[in-house]
Amino acid sequence: MPGPREVRVYLTPALIPEGVLAGGIAVVIDVLRATTTMLAALAAGAKAIIPCGSIDEAKALGGDGILLAGERGGRAIPGFHLGNSPAEFTSSICKNKTIITTTTNGTAAILACRSAERVLVGAFVNFSAVCEQLSADARPVHIVCAGTNGQPTLDDTLFAGAVVDFLSSTFDVHLNDSARLAWDCFENHGQILMAALEISAGGEALMNIGLGDDLKFAATIDKFALTAAVTYDPPRIQLAGAGIKRRHWQHS
């Protein structure tokens, strides 16, 4: 009989051991705000999103019919079409467009997962869709939190814990210590999600620059019933599925 399913959380990309993602399915998280915004763009009809590690790389890939998006320090990059606020990414702007994006933390986390066999983009806005993809896939699960400037963040850890909670109620699992820490975080903060985002360092930073509405968007469980997957060489994020069987959030 097969043993317990491996479920591992990495609180920042720097904590991923070399080679460990090979053969597994990774879920990349940057709740505030990169992955939330990417999912909003795909839900609005974007054709694809290309994550870049630097502003110069993003500019070099730009051109006619391509939207440049992203932020540094939470603020929109001068000269880019869009920032990193999910509500900006409407159908009238995004439909059938390719979006090139670079962010302080999220795009780097995505680029750090290229050795995984499959990579999904996760946030609270597509929580149940991510859960259903993981429940249908027998591979080891690696949940990668973007963090902020090399430090773990409450918002990403909370999402990771919610996924661990779901998987632990569905499978016999073997968790690393970071997965247990994230699970504890979810047990303590899952019922007060919006308040947890507000007290997080990232949430406070966004509110301080007038972007508090982004927290409300990021805290909307299952706003989108869609799955987004990453392919590499070159990196590209696209819609990989739509629809969910039911909601899997455990807190009202």
Two structure tokens written together for 6: 């491996």
If 0-12 CB within 10 Å is exposed, 13-18 middle and 19+ buried, where does residue 93 land?
A: middle
Q: Which strands form 66-72's sheet, in the order they lie side by side?
A: 75-76, 66-72, 98-102, 48-51, 236-242, 226-231, 118-122, 25-29, 141-145, 5-10, 173-175
**Of the candidates 3, 15, 1, 2, the residue with the CA atom closest to the CA atom of residue 179:** 15
The β-bridge relationship of strands 75-76 and 66-72 is: antiparallel
- Please write the tens of the pLDDT for every residue from 88-108: 999 999 999 999 999 999 999
Q: What percent of the chain has pLDDT over 90?
A: 94
DSSP summary character for residue 82: B
- Please write the tens of the pLDDT for every residue from 221-236: 999 999 999 999 999 9
Amino acid 2: pLDDT: 67
Amino acid 251: pLDDT: 67
Q: Bridge partners of 143?
A: 9, 27
Amino acid 64: pLDDT: 87
Amino acid 140: pLDDT: 97
Lowest mean pLDDT segment, chosen from 57-61, 95-99, 244-248: 244-248
Instruction: Using the predicted structure, report yes or no on whether residue 250 has a pLDDT greater than 90.
Output: no
Instruction: Using the predicted structure, report yes or no on whether residue 252 has a pLDDT greater than 90.
Output: no
Confidence band for 189, pLDDT divided at 50, 70 and 90? very high
Mean pLDDT over 210-219 rounds to 98
